[in-house]
Structure 1
Amino acid sequence: MSFCSYYDTHQCRSCGWIDFHYAEQLKQKNDHLRLLLNPFTPQEWLHPSQSPLKAFRNKAKMVASPSLSGVVLGLSDDVSLIGCPLYDISMQRVLEHTQQWLREIGIQAYDVKAKKGELKYVLLTRSTYDGSMMLRFVLRSHGVIPRLKKGLEALIALSPEIKVVTVNIQPVHMAIMEGEEEIFLSEQSRLEEQFNGVPLFIRPKSFFQTNPSVAEKLYKTAAEWVNESTPKTVWDLFCGVGGFGLHCAAEDRTIVGIEIEPEAIECARDSAEKIGFKGLSFEALDAASFTLNTAKKPDVLIVNPPRRGLGEQLCKWIEKITPAEVMYSSCNAASLVKDLEKLTSYEIVRVQLFDMFAHTEHYEVLVHLKKR
């Protein structure tokens, strides 16, 4: 028996490794990573950075399903997951209040088979800095927005932690999490977070790591590795809300962050303004386009690509400009290996696994590369 009743009763099997002792989880992940990276002969293997076992996720993604009782928040087969132990008790309570409130005001969940109903997903994000939360309703159309607005005061009275409320319109009959249009129902439009004393902001569409405890250690470690060489210029590609770049900020240092999502860049700029260093610059650009239109190069390059990795074009660009050091943060070691095979000018100085996704086979890894 695990600590999760949903898993033990076969209602949810998302945490496929939850039956393994945590030490065994870490061993299997580290063994997998070593198998993949040993051909590159890393000079140093650091001990894996561990995750809390419960209540470590800051974001809940709930499918809204129809049932005789009303909306069910959880899985698409009408299984409620509002008590998932990966969320802390305050998130569980807000999800419970939200599910009951949706039933009371008569919001119908979207029925995939019948193609009827309005509510597709409920997304909840929590700041570990002050406990405030952002609640997003993904709807098929604008039809029930007036009803949500009218009843919102009652929900916030039950859950005053909710500070940001939005509606996202996703009209397509496909398994797509969200659409382009975002409508704010609250005056506040962002959450504030802090990692290692560095202010960070979360808006509805900005990517943010889902395990704050491990993410904090990841950013701190990357900054320590960067600071060892006291670089004058650092570029942060796929920077999101600026976590890596902001942690590397220092007087007389230029930090350039590049991210395609404008909302994330807006968050990064707000953080830069709050920190107060003049050398911080963040631009909403595609990483590939940015690299094609610059003749400069940084002393240190930080990359944190999506699961598909950097790809051939960006690897060729790195090989062309050859910054002295590259910090590569990856959530997919398989695509990391494909990129490392193309980055032949570099050797691996050190590797560390960060267990961002406890109880699953997935993990984050930080690799420190130096030009040969």
Structure 2
Amino acid sequence: MALAVLDCAHFTAGECRSCTWLGRRYDDQLLAKDAAARALVDAPGLAWESPLTSRPHGFRNKAKMVVGGTATAPTLGILDPTGAGVDLRDCALHTPGIEAALPVLAELVTRADLTPYDVGSALPVSRRGELKHVLVTESPDGELMVRLVLRSTATEARVRKHLPWLRERLPQLRVLTLNIQPEHRAVLEGEREVVLTEAETLPMRLGGPDGIVLHLRPRSFFQTNTDVAAALYGLAVTWTADLAPRRVVDLYCGVGGFALHLAAPGRRVTGIEISADAIASAERSRDEAGLPGEITFATGDATSPEHAALVADADLVVVNPPRRGLGPALARRLEESGVRHVLYSSCNPETLARDLADLASYVPVRGRLLDMFPQTPHAEVLVLLQRVGQRSE
């Protein structure tokens, strides 16, 4: 029986169209995504697995809320074309913990008198106010990281004053920070982060009580769907088990999700990531987990030619690039490396298909769509590539 269409008053009223596929039944969405992805990736001999589903609502582990209205009557959500705030505190995509926290955070805006930043509806732009965004992330254990994106530190004392009240109202709060973004441009966050709590990281425990814990710092990237992210890492382990790689290189390693899950006795794993914060998180997770094998992380650009020797020495290279994909330079480096297998995790099947065309020495042997982003046409696709002429051992 087909799953019903998710009902959203904001979508029906035309207030929010972020979920572009909200009017489609979930199973129809899944079929369309799967068919589109397979058409882009298909190759002779490809073992394409059935799509991995998600909860169609209540799955989003992070909220990125634009603050509008006034300090006494704030809105948390988006801005309409005139610059007025549209309140989306009841968005059905967010995890229940985030949905419950947003009204409390709206009350904090009022208590601490945090005037919403006025982006202006016409020139000249007023550019008054302080608070730009409220960013919330929930861990699998129900703890929260809250970040207030402000124009300056002018209101820091007021936020600190109300921190005891906020802890009482939100006992699940683990991390509270002020992110300072002084520029008037469409940038979500700034370079400076002021941490107001003792804890600086949000532990993301994947795979149950005995699973790997990934530590998220305020500016670290993590997939928006925790359950599907955990399944993605588990699938990577399953697909590569028979390959028994002795040397693994994880490019775009982020906070170490793939690298840490692929740790094994006698195996050397190296993760490369351009974000120093993400590398610090990955190293902390590694040190706390006591994982087998040798695992190292380094800050650097995954596309840089300085990693060519490292890649060439690997049995397995994992790539998890941003939406723009690998690009011709990195694809060429993989082509020239001689590495036997590449595990490619893509959040954009179109750039994945382009990269596969550049990786002419490889053929996809396994593939699967993971529905990381229900209610939209976006999806995660995992593909295992094998160098032509090589056999899996």
TM-score by length of structure 2 reads: 0.91
- 2:18 counterpart of 1:14: yes
Q: Which residue does 1:285 correspond to in 2?
A: 300
- 2:103 counterpart of 1:103: no
Q: Which residue does 1:71 correspond to in 2?
A: 74
User: Which of 326, 334, 353 in structure 2 is aligned with 1:337?
Assistant: 353
In structure 2, how many angstroms separate the alpha carbons of the residues matched to 1:115 and 1:138?
15
User: Which of 33, 38, 45 in structure 1 is aligned with 2:37?
Assistant: 33
Structure 1's unaligned 5+ residue stretches are none
The one-letter code sitting in structure 1 at the alignment partner of 2:325 is G
Superposed CA RMSD in Å reads 1.4
- 2:133 counterpart of 1:121: yes
User: C-alpha displacement at 1:361, in angstroms?
Assistant: 0.4
In structure 2, how many angstroms separate the alpha carbons of the residues matched to 1:262 and 1:137?
22
Contact residue 41 and residue 364 of structure 2 kept, 8 A: no
Contact residue 315 and residue 341 of structure 2 kept, 8 A: yes
User: C-alpha displacement at 1:61, in angstroms?
Assistant: 0.2
- 2:15 counterpart of 1:4: no
User: Which of 147, 159, 164 in structure 2 is aligned with 1:148?
Assistant: 159
Q: Which residue does 2:123 correspond to in 1?
A: none
Contact residue 326 and residue 368 of structure 1 kept, 8 A: yes
SS, match of residue 284 in structure 2: helix
Q: Which residue does 2:275 correspond to in 1?
A: 261
The one-letter code sitting in structure 2 at the alignment partner of 1:150 is K
Q: Which residue does 2:337 correspond to in 1?
A: 321
Against the structure 1 CA distance between its residues 291 and 156, is the aligned structure 2 distance closer, same or farther, given a 3 Å change threshold? same
Structure 2's unaligned 5+ residue stretches are 121-125, 389-393
User: Which of 263, 267, 284 in structure 2 is aligned with 1:249?
Assistant: 263
User: C-alpha displacement at 1:245, in angstroms?
Assistant: 1.0
Contact residue 170 and residue 179 of structure 1 kept, 8 A: yes
Q: Which residue does 1:308 correspond to in 2?
A: 324
**Aligned positions of 1:204-215 closer than 5 A:** 204-215=218-229
User: C-alpha displacement at 1:293, in angstroms?
Assistant: 6.3
User: C-alpha displacement at 1:156, in angstroms?
Assistant: 1.5
User: C-alpha displacement at 1:292, in angstroms?
Assistant: 4.6
Contact residue 89 and residue 102 of structure 2 kept, 8 A: yes
- 2:208 counterpart of 1:192: no
User: C-alpha displacement at 1:311, in angstroms?
Assistant: 0.6
Contact residue 70 and residue 108 of structure 1 kept, 8 A: no
- 2:376 counterpart of 1:360: yes
Q: Which residue does 1:80 correspond to in 2?
A: 87
TM-score by length of structure 1 reads: 0.96
SS, match of residue 79 in structure 1: strand
Q: Which residue does 1:138 correspond to in 2?
A: 149
User: Which of 164, 186, 189 in structure 2 is aligned with 1:175?
Assistant: 186
User: C-alpha displacement at 1:53, in angstroms?
Assistant: 1.4
SS, match of residue 358 in structure 1: coil
User: Which of 57, 61, 80 in structure 2 is aligned with 1:58?
Assistant: 61
In structure 2, how many angstroms separate the alpha carbons of the residues matched to 1:181 and 1:49?
38
Contact residue 61 and residue 122 of structure 1 kept, 8 A: yes
